[in-house]
Amino acid sequence: MSIFEVKEEFLLDGKPVKLLSGAIHYFRIVPEYWEDCLYNLKAMGFNTVETYIPWNLHEPEEGVFDFSGNKDVEGFVRLAQRMGLWVILRPAPFICAEWEFGGLPAWLLRYPDMKVRTNTPLFLEKLESYYRELFSRIANLQVTEGGPVIMMQVENEYGSFGNEKAYLRAVKSLMEKYGAKVPLFTADGSWDAALEAGSLVEDGVLATANFGSRSNENLDALERFYARHGVKRPLMCMEFWDGWFNRWREPVITRDAQDLAEAVRELLPRAGINLYMFIGGTNFGFYNGCSARGNTDLPQITSYNYDAVLTEWGEPTEKFYRIRQVIQELYPEIPTFEPRDHKSCAFGPAKLTGKVSLFSCVDELAQPVESAYPLTMEEAGSGYGYMLYRTKVTGFDNVMKVKAVRASDRVHFYLNGEFQGVQYQDEVGTEIEMKFGRENVLELLVENMGRVNYGYKLQAPTQSKGIRGGVMVDIHFESGWEQYPLSLDRVDQLSFQGEWKEGMPGFFRYEFDAAESADTFLDCSSLGKGVAFINGFHLGRYWSEGPVCYLYIPAPLLKAGKNELILFETEGKLAEELELKDYPVYRQQ
């Protein structure tokens, strides 16, 4: 059992310690690869691993908790301990992290009076219920209990959202109530307003800063902040951004390896570091986040490669070797060694073995929820994935205008089984002319492309997905709706016995043989838009708009011999074969 303290320096068992940390999100990596990632972190000379803990992943429905598979935070932390690493945990209610809704659960949006990240009884009641369960699993992982956890985070970049100290103290109090004993910290931007708004230094909570360049300039700002408060504390960059995330329809963002190494070299003599990210990993499932730029939402892609020190698939980059060289030069006493890598393989074509239109199999996937007017995705289902809205419309053999009012995020329109149009971003809410017969079936397929993970929109009702206003036909709101929540958690049970119609949203099943255990990459360049599953595991979203045109498939998700791929393709693009390659595919810019 060790003692970790934050005084004028970081102290471990009374002796100064240099924190050399890297971010590895256990939930973005298959558990079978955790060890390789942690091994490579040590190989670079680092002694600590940091991870967020996303609330929405562990409590997907209110009162329903999941810590299995790649959600096993206890297993990840214990593995880090066995490998000789210290751990920084960030169980803040909000994590940002380019993660869906910044880690906040979608079910919070079912409460009309919910004000997230505030000192309000309703939000704190839900947070306390989660912390009660979470801390029953992580409290005994602290160094005070013989574990490897040396610090925990109270909130994350709160100074970029609010300045309610009563809220920060409430979160701190809940953490301590359920067993937090190690030093606590906050992390904010390094400018004055953010540090003052988001910190609790007067309560003994360490203030850390997030940045990725101009190290001395940012550390000077952090030092001045402490000087104003009349205390001296060790300096720590809790997120030293070594790359950046990517969004659909935008070029891949990269950073020069030597530029990063020099910025790290500048920082280390004065401060501890947490490289964000050491390995980015993958936004499996529907968990990618979304940026907000004015009135426009910009969803992030499935790959969280981040141009990090290791690639999405665990391959050491030039950044690994440049940073390791800095460690060797500044701290020659720290052992470093050669990293591990993974084998990748081109398994060739996956052949089409089944196809069925969504409208032919929707009853296999979900039970309809009836209502007078359209419900949101949170009201009718889990709040993730897609929702199919259906109603009967009496027509008069003429053209009428149809409009979806306040719908998010992308809407396909169908009349009597025929495609009428698709709307996204600024197009949503514009009228579409359709030719109605006497008796008609109007259907709208709405996709949640990811909730905002940062900024003022977290507090707005706009993060409810689906149709929030209604659907107008002619100049009136249409009533009498069925809605099918399509979280696609039953996709592996599809019979593929229904009708398939060309150009319509549908499911496609493929098979291929894996002769060896190796990573592979699904080439999505011939497809339109949708999601993919390998042997029932949700790989995430693809979109022909790029910038990436692949989905990474880690070897542990494959079976020896025959493997099954299922795609939900909203644009109806049919491919008789799909290639599984030994390298990632990018859209040509």
CATH of the domain at 283: 3.20.20.80
Residues 511 and 567 occupy one common structural domain:
yes
Q: Which of 428, 461, 486 is at the close of a domain?
A: 486
CB 358 within 8 A of CB 447: no
Q: Which domain holds residue 76?
A: 4-330
Q: Which of 434, 459, 486 is at the close of a domain?
A: 486
pLDDT digits (tens, 9 = 90+) for 176-196: 999 999 999 999 999 999 999
Calpha distance 402→386 (Å, rounded): 20
Q: Is 374 contained in some domain? A: yes
Position 356 scores a pLDDT of 98
What backbone phi and psi angles, to 5 degrees, belong to 225? -60, -45
Distance of CA 224 to the CA centre of its chain: 34
Q: Is 388 contained in some domain? A: yes
Q: In 139-198, where does DSSP find H-type helix?
A: 165-177, 192-198
Residues 547 and 429 occupy one common structural domain:
no
Residues 269 and 323 occupy one common structural domain:
yes
Calpha distance 495→72 (Å, rounded): 32
Position 589 scores a pLDDT of 54
Q: Which of 93, 82, 21 minimizes the C-alpha distance to 52?
A: 93
Q: Is 58 contained in some domain? A: yes
Residues 394 and 473 occupy one common structural domain:
yes
Residues 391 and 255 occupy one common structural domain:
no
Q: Is 337 contained in some domain? A: no
pLDDT digits (tens, 9 = 90+) for 528-567: 999 999 999 999 999 999 999 999 999 999 999 999 999 9
Calpha distance 93→54 (Å, rounded): 8
Residues annotated as part of the active site: 157, 239
Q: Is 469 contained in some domain? A: yes
Distance of CA 65 to the CA centre of its chain: 18
Position 137 scores a pLDDT of 98
Residues 101 and 206 occupy one common structural domain:
yes
Residues 37 and 110 occupy one common structural domain:
yes
Position 274 scores a pLDDT of 98
Residues 323 and 249 occupy one common structural domain:
yes
What backbone phi and psi angles, to 5 degrees, belong to 43? -60, -30
Residues 138 and 183 occupy one common structural domain:
yes
Position 76 scores a pLDDT of 99
Q: Is 335 contained in some domain? A: no
Question: Which CATH number is 480's domain given?
Answer: 2.60.120.260
pLDDT under 70: residue ranges of the chain: 589
Q: Is 404 contained in some domain? A: yes
Residues 320 and 456 occupy one common structural domain:
no
Q: Which of 573, 564, 568 minimizes the C-alpha distance to 534?
A: 564
Q: Which of 463, 486, 509 is at the close of a domain?
A: 486
Q: Is 362 contained in some domain? A: no
Structure tokens belonging to residue 245: 């995330």
Number of domains, the chain: 3
Residues 285 and 378 occupy one common structural domain:
no
Residues 289 and 149 occupy one common structural domain:
yes
| Alpha-carbon torsion (283, 286, 290, 296), positive or negative | positive
